[in-house]
Structure 1
Amino acid sequence: MSRYTALFERLNAANQGAFVPFITIGDPNPAQSEQIIEALIAGGADALELGIPFSDPVADGPTIQDAATRALNSHTTTAICFDILSRIRAKYPDLPIGLLLYANLVYTHTPEDFFKKAKAAGVDSVLIADVPVEMSAPFKAAADQFGIESIYIAPPNADDDTLKRVAELSSGYTYLLSRAGVTGAETRAQMPVDHLLKALKEFGAPPALLGFGISEPEQVKAAIAAGAAGAISGSAVVKIIEHNLADPAAMLEKLTQFVKNMKAATLR
């Protein structure tokens, strides 16, 4: 059984949804980044969604772009990211760990080489933000070869054909966008996603996690009330990092508390 399947079964039995924080590995530097991941887990994160820093993150707003810049300026490489992931995996054998990244990072290796290294580091899933479903075949083939789950985005304006393709190809979970545009806590999540959730369920998609613009516990509650299996929050987490760069201890404390508050909102 995959770690995601086990997680969703356990949460359903406990009448809870999932809360999944996102950060960029290496932000603000590799050593602090590892402490940040530990703080998120200490706060009760059900799974992790982690970015590998990239110089042109087209799906991201300024907050996560700045995180990638900080990570790259501290000389974070893909190899360093995999080293950090290996250590986290060794400490937390049951925690689902997903990567969210861009195709160029895969192509600096080959898809096979990248997914092989990801598997060795303990990665469960990969979402490639700039590859649409119809162009994803070589990535999915490499992911399948190494037993890594392929995550696809279900956009808010998707027609049934797109949702059907997403449902057929996805495993682990489905990343449901709450709104169009780039990542960012400044633009709030929209919640009229009931029809999308219903369609994804009809097409047999894995559980949907709602992302983009999730920054408050009330939004997590609303996502779960609408039928999502949980919520992903990125920019709001990264803003805590950004606003506390001068005080690392306060940063870790605030991150843990933020996750605790968001996780508490997943109780059904």
Structure 2
Amino acid sequence: MSRISETFEALRSRGEGAYIPYVCAGDPNREFSLRAIQTLCASGADIVELGLPFSDPIADGPVIQGSMQRSLSAGFKVEHIFDLISRARSDGVNQPVVVMSYLNPVLRYGVPEFVRRLAGSGGDGLLLVDVPLEESEAIDRLAAENGIDTVKLVAPSTEDSRLGNILAKATGFVYVVSVSGTTGTRDSLHDDALGLVSRVAARSRVPVALGFGVSKPEHVSAAMRAGASGVVEGSRLISLYSDSLGNLEAGLSRMAAHARQMKDATSLR
């Protein structure tokens, strides 16, 4: 059983869902990214989703686009993400780490070497947001050979006939996208998103996590009631420090307080 699967199993036995914060690696610098991971893991994060910056992040909204641009401007390279994960492990971070990336930087680096180094650094999962299911077989096989889970996306536009194929290939967990469009905070979760969670959870053999727009404890509670096993949050977290880049310590404090509130809302009891 993978570390991701073990985490969800332990949470289920305690009557909790998974809080999965997303941060873009290298924003605004590598040292802050390490501290952000440490802070979030000490404040309730069950799994960390670590974004690999890319120059054309078509699935992301302005907050994450800005985060990626700051990281790239600071000189972040693909190989730095492996060092970041290794350092987090050396500093006592035990939570699973899933790297979320677009395909282009992984291809340029070399898929076999990327997967090998991800596993060697202590990474646990890989989510490639723009790889069609029909083209993922070789990457999925390499990942499995290296003990890396491959997280798959389900969107509101996903048809039932295609959903079965996605669920058959997903390992670790399935990431349900709450809305068509890009990442970003939203005031509420639409009933259609919660209905999609319920539909996917009823058919999935792996846990289901809801993302895109999750930013409030009440969003977490609603997702849990709908059948989600976890939630992914990114844009709101990033804004807690990016709105005041001149005072990153205060940003870390805000992230910690917010993470605790979000984690508390995952209780299923």
TM-score by length of 2: 0.95
Q: CA deviation at 1:178?
A: 1.0
Q: CA deviation at 1:91?
A: 3.3
Q: Flag structure 1 segments of 5+ consecutive residues without an equivalent.
A: none
Q: SS of 2:209's equivalent?
A: strand
| Residues 1:224 and 2:224 are matched in the alignment | yes
Q: Superposition pairs for residues 107-186 of structure 1, below 5 Å?
A: 107-186=107-186
| Residues 1:6 and 2:3 are matched in the alignment | no
Which residue in the other structure is 2:104 paired with? 104
Name whichever of 62-71 and 104-113 sits farther off. 104-113
Name the CA distance, whole Å, in 2 between partners of 1:209 and 1:113: 28
Name whichever of 190-199 and 213-222 sits farther off. 190-199
Whether the 8 Å contact between 2:17 and 2:224 is mirrored in structure 1 is yes
Q: Flag structure 2 segments of 5+ consecutive residues without an equivalent.
A: none
| Residues 1:91 and 2:91 are matched in the alignment | yes
Do the aligned partners of residues 100 and 145 (structure 1) sit closer, same or farther apart at CA in structure 2, a change above 3 Å counting? same
Name the CA distance, whole Å, in 2 between partners of 1:201 and 1:65: 30
Q: CA deviation at 1:42?
A: 1.6
Question: What one-letter code is carried by the residue in structure 2 that aligns with 1:152?
Answer: K
Name the CA distance, whole Å, in 2 between partners of 1:62 and 1:204: 32
* Identity among equivalent pairs (%): 34
Which residue in the other structure is 1:253 paired with? 253
Name the CA distance, whole Å, in 2 between partners of 1:203 and 1:91: 38
Per-residue deviation, residues 103-137 of structure 1 (Å, max 9, x unmatched): 01111122111100111111111000111212212
Q: CA deviation at 1:163?
A: 1.0
Q: CA deviation at 1:169?
A: 0.3
Q: Superposition pairs for residues 13-32 of structure 1, below 5 Å?
A: 13-32=13-32
Which residue in the other structure is 1:39 paired with? 39
Whether the 8 Å contact between 2:179 and 2:193 is mirrored in structure 1 is no
TM-score by length of 1: 0.95
Name the CA distance, whole Å, in 2 between partners of 1:93 and 1:248: 21
Question: What one-letter code is carried by the residue in structure 2 that aligns with 1:13?
Answer: S
Q: CA deviation at 1:195?
A: 4.7
Which residue in the other structure is 1:209 paired with? 209
Per-residue deviation, residues 192-226 of structure 1 (Å, max 9, x unmatched): 34553444345443100000000100000000011
RMSD between superposed Cα atoms in Å: 1.5
Question: What one-letter code is carried by the residue in structure 1 that aligns with 2:231?
Answer: A
- The alignment covers a number of residue pairs equal to 268
Question: What one-letter code is carried by the residue in structure 2 that aligns with 1:104?
Answer: N
Question: What one-letter code is carried by the residue in structure 2 that aligns with 1:11?
Answer: L
Whether the 8 Å contact between 1:191 and 1:226 is mirrored in structure 2 is no
Per-residue deviation, residues 46-76 of structure 1 (Å, max 9, x unmatched): 1100101111111101110000011011111
Q: CA deviation at 1:191?
A: 3.7
Do the aligned partners of residues 195 and 258 (structure 1) sit closer, same or farther apart at CA in structure 2, a change above 3 Å counting? closer
Q: SS of 1:241's equivalent?
A: helix
Question: What one-letter code is carried by the residue in structure 1 that aligns with 2:260?
Answer: K
Whether the 8 Å contact between 2:186 and 2:214 is mirrored in structure 1 is no
Name whichever of 182-191 and 196-205 sits farther off. 196-205
| Residues 1:77 and 2:99 are matched in the alignment | no
Q: CA deviation at 1:244?
A: 2.1
Name whichever of 184-193 and 94-103 sits farther off. 184-193
Q: CA deviation at 1:88?
A: 1.1
Whether the 8 Å contact between 1:178 and 1:191 is mirrored in structure 2 is no
Q: SS of 1:131's equivalent?
A: coil
Q: CA deviation at 1:145?
A: 2.1
Name the CA distance, whole Å, in 1 between partners of 2:71 and 2:12: 36
What stretches of structure 1 move > 2 A for 4+ residues in a row? 89-94, 186-205
